[in-house]
Amino acid sequence: MRLLKVATCNLNQWAMDFDCNLKHIKDSITRAKEVGAVIRLGPELEITGYGCEDHFLELDTVNHAWECLKEILLGDWTDGILCSIGMPIIRGSERYNCQVLCFNRKIVMIRPKMWLANDGNYRELRWFTTWKQKDQLVEFQLPPEISEALSQTSVPFGYGYIQFLDTAVAAEICEELFTPNPPHTELALNGVEVFLNASGSHHQLRKLDLRLRAFIGATHTRGGVYMYSNHQGCDGARLYYDGCSCVVVNGEVVAQGSQFSLKDVEVVVAQVDLDAVASLRGSISSFQEQASCKTKVSSVAVPYNICKPFNLKMLLSSPQKIMYHSPEEEIAFGPGCWLWDYLRRSGASGFLLPLSGGADSSSVAAIVGCMCQLVVKEIANGDEQVKADAIRIGNYADGKFPTDSKEFAKRIFYTVYMGSENSSEATKTRAKVLADEIGSWHLDVCIDGVVSSLLSLFQTVTGKRPRYKVDGGSNVENLGLQNIQARIRMVLAFMLASLLPWVHNKKGFYLVLGSSNVDEALRGYLTKYDCSAADINPIGSISKQDLRTFLRWAANHLGYSSLTEIEAAPPTAELEPIRSNYSQLDEVDMGMTYEELSVYGRLRKIFRCGPVSMFKNLCYKWGATLTPSEVADKVKHFFKYYSINRHKMTVLTPSYHAESYSPEDNRFDLRQFLYNARWPYQFRKMDELVQEMNGDRVAFKETGEDGGTAAGGGGMGVVAAASGDPKAGF
């Protein structure tokens, strides 16, 4: 037997905080050595943090990474252990995303990334170059200060593997695993038995299974030990990296780290038998045949044994059941951990949430409550870093610290119900009950006086006073009156967030939390600069359907029973007067259901459908209940409002990324925000298809609502203001 103990890790790094990141790296190596591991794998770009973005273009970023690596190599951290450490490196005039493989205070080789992640949330080609010379390892001249400190002038650089006396080890960096022809295929045929995958993979609902299946598939038919390391936490932007570092042997998961955690460092250890890898490969005839005519991959020889012989005291890691969280748990724990990192690293003293008593803001409140529960739980488990952060943020004194989540919430969480004459007693009561269950410091504020003052000012300036539609007003008046209420709430929220800590003799400021969901953003069913405008938004990339399921789960599992009643209530903006024969409802205002919105969103983004291809797909999906003409009308209605409201994405609150059809403009969904909302060519094509499908040969009408020309599309502000959509205007 060739026994090998390996360690991989989840690290909560912070982009550009080199002290923080270096501390976590050293801590993880120390823990790995303490348990006898001889290989330690860290996440991609762990020295700098993954999310540095255009800071990667600065020479300082690369120089500081070298300085940190030098500090690691000059100490005893790499003595007797192979450490794979991620950092950016400049070779000549090119910048590479690299794994630096270190052993016994020397750099053994540098492995640059060959295939970069460059879609969705990722822009690696903006900062890095792909390594294209696969046929050889080249010599890389180390920077003078590094060379002098290590007494090492150059190091092999490129695609290759490390050949120890008793096994071979190679790196495969993040995206490379998911390419059509991943490196591990060729490396396995060259005898590599241990694969090191350093990654920067973000959380997305229901995504983890895809990742784990890739690890399992990599070794199921080829054999091997596949080690995976990932970041975990918010490193400074919209993404939450969801850890789940693991070790897979011959297609079986033998060790798995947490997906959501407040820990800064988590080390996952496994002890494996490499003879099991050799045995599997030797039993597969096709593997041996292909290995006999393989393309040779370059290697670096290290004359050292890293395996141990048979020893009954060294227990092998056994296959285990993979741990998956339900989508409801993912919504609770992912954004909850993201909020904690944002809170403790921003310098803020807490959160303020406009709590309307509706599903969206109640979901945000429940997530903050979950965050408080996680903090208290980690402190009880002995996490000193979480304890220190909680004491500082909660302003505890005399050796006290959080022991009760409701008491902690009272210190760091304000909720405020900003009611108007159009608000119902039911939503007001629901907001108060939920606030009491969570423990937040709750305010009930009436905004009618401010609204009246603004309308009086408007009347003084113009001589006119707008009326609601139910009172005989026009669509323009109705929309304007609703937007006034919404925007007053934004201004009031930021005022309270900045001044309430002062009122209560607390230090610092509070972050305002947004509560618009991904479907509302997609449809534009929000007022620009209302309570959707906030500092951060934990649910901005979560669908309404998932949030309602989460509310039912949270009522039972987080102890907030009032969420059951909140989930059952029909969604309403409560911006228009309530009458005996009229009550404002979101889905009626939008002209579509939230379920339909999710369908439109997935077809638009994930399946890359324009109006015509969306129409064709929906004819199949909805054809049993709707005619082609009805499907076409729904698609046109969606694209009209998507277009006239796209401009709102330019100011959308930075949102936790959780859904693959998010319309978020700044990173994920890069499209224009000025459209011809009539889509004349596309809608005309749809009408032609409808006529063909209905057997109607009537001549196609070139003008009208679906006609027009691109030049005559009209300004989006005019279209939005005239739409009658309560949340459509600027």
Which DSSP helix (H) or strand (E) runs through 510?
Answer: strand 510-512
Strand-pairing partners, residue 225, are 194, 249
Residues 5, 37 contacting (CB under 8 angstroms): yes
Phi and psi (nearest 5°) for 97?
Answer: -90, 115
CA-nearest of 277, 438, 446, 305 to 363 is: 438
User: 134 is written with which tokens?
Assistant: 């696969």
- The alpha carbon torsion through 558, 559, 565, 566 (nearest 10 deg) reads -40
Between strands 161-163 and 299-301, the pairing is parallel
Helix (H, G, I), strand (E, B) or coil at 621: helix
Identify the active-site residue in 113, 528, 640, 727: 113
Please say if 207 is a catalytic residue.
no
CA-nearest of 346, 326, 363 to 538 is: 363
Return left, alpha or beta for 101; rule: phi > 0 is left, psi -120 to 50 is alpha, else beta.
beta
Phi and psi (nearest 5°) for 182?
Answer: -70, 150
In angstroms, rounded to a whole number, what is the distance separating the alpha carbons of residues 672 and 396?
48
In angstroms, rounded to a whole number, what is the distance separating the alpha carbons of residues 699 and 198?
61
Identify the active-site residue in 261, 349, 356, 363: 356
Calculate the alpha carbon distances from 535 to 17, 96, 331, 417, 509 in Å: 22, 34, 19, 18, 12
Residues near 321 by Cβ (< 8 Å), separated by ≥ 6?
Answer: none
User: 638 is written with which tokens?
Assistant: 């969606």
Please say if 299 is a catalytic residue.
no
CA-nearest of 231, 113, 99, 84 to 182 is: 113
Rounded to 5°, angle at Cα 72 from 71 and 76 = 115
User: 327 is written with which tokens?
Assistant: 């989508």
- Looking up tokens 């300036």, which residue turns up? 461
CA-nearest of 509, 576, 569, 521 to 362 is: 569
Between strands 413-419 and 441-446, the pairing is parallel
- Looking up tokens 């698609």, which residue turns up? 635
Identify the active-site residue in 52, 98, 174, 337: 174
In angstroms, rounded to a whole number, what is the distance separating the alpha carbons of residues 473 and 480?
11
Identify the active-site residue in 5, 20, 33, 44: 44
Which DSSP helix (H) or strand (E) runs through 631?
Answer: helix 628-645
In angstroms, rounded to a whole number, what is the distance separating the alpha carbons of residues 687 and 699?
11
Residues 146, 69 contacting (CB under 8 angstroms): yes
- Looking up tokens 């009086």, which residue turns up? 456
Please say if 587 is a catalytic residue.
no
Calculate the alpha carbon distances from 530 to 446, 450, 513, 573, 620 in Å: 16, 15, 12, 12, 38
User: 214 is written with which tokens?
Assistant: 């890739």
Residues 1, 273 contacting (CB under 8 angstroms): yes
Residues 9, 81 contacting (CB under 8 angstroms): no
Which DSSP helix (H) or strand (E) runs through 419?
Answer: strand 413-419
Rounded to 5°, angle at Cα 438 from 435 and 439 = 80
In angstroms, rounded to a whole number, what is the distance separating the alpha carbons of residues 231 and 375?
20
Please say if 296 is a catalytic residue.
no
Active site residue ranges? 44, 113, 174, 356
